[in-house]
Amino acid sequence: MNTKKTWIERATHALIFEVLAVAMTAPVLAWVMKVPMAHAGLLTLMISSVAMTWNMIFNALFDRVERHWRLVRTMSMRVVHAIAFEAGLVATVVPLVAWWLDMSLLDALILDIGLVLFFLPYTFVFNLVYDKLRDAMLKRRGLLNA
């Protein structure tokens, strides 16, 4: 069983996730939307700030539910985790994108669907790799049973 994560670890997890995400999405968004890189970069940073906050809150709640119900992070549980995380983020990000890019909510939703198609597998793979590396590090330190 995983040891409890501290808020510092949660912040580090979210920061690594978002730095990699911004580095991958800002150039693509600038190219697809035909906007200056600075404009796309600022939007991705705003989305990243929202996502980082949501990441920490969502994962803390998810971990609490997981411990309470004694759930195991199977592949299907990871899929539920990724979908639930992205659904909450879409509800917040669509109005922000519509405002920043001066487009309708529907157009922003369509754009966000494209982002979700990237972020669903990215979230899934990132968290899978993060958990494996974390468990290996905790085992090495003797903080997690083999």
Q: What is the pLDDT of residues 42-64, one digit of tens each?
A: 999 999 899 888 988 999 999 99
| Count of domains for the chain | 1
HSE-CB for 67 with a 13 A CA cutoff: 10
pLDDT tens-digit map of 10-35: 889 988 998 999 999 999 999 999 99
Q: Is residue 13 part of a domain?
A: yes
Q: Is residue 100 part of a domain?
A: yes
Report the percent of the chain where pLDDT is more than 70.
Answer: 97
Among 41-45, 88-92, 121-125, 139-143, the minimum mean pLDDT is found in: 139-143
Q: Is residue 146 part of a domain?
A: no
By residue range, what is the domain housing residue 76? Answer: 7-140
Report the percent of the chain where pLDDT is more than 90.
Answer: 62
Residue 55 or 109, more confident: 109
Q: CA torsion 28→101→121→137, rounded to 10°? A: 90
> Residue 14 burial (CB < 10 Å; 0-12/13-18/19+)?
buried
Q: Is residue 145 part of a domain?
A: no
Q: Whole-structure pTM over 0.75, yes or no?
A: no
pLDDT of 18 reads: 85
pLDDT of 1 reads: 46
Q: In whole angstroms, what is the distance from residue 31 CA to residue 143 CA? A: 46
Q: Is residue 17 part of a domain?
A: yes
Q: Is residue 28 part of a domain?
A: yes
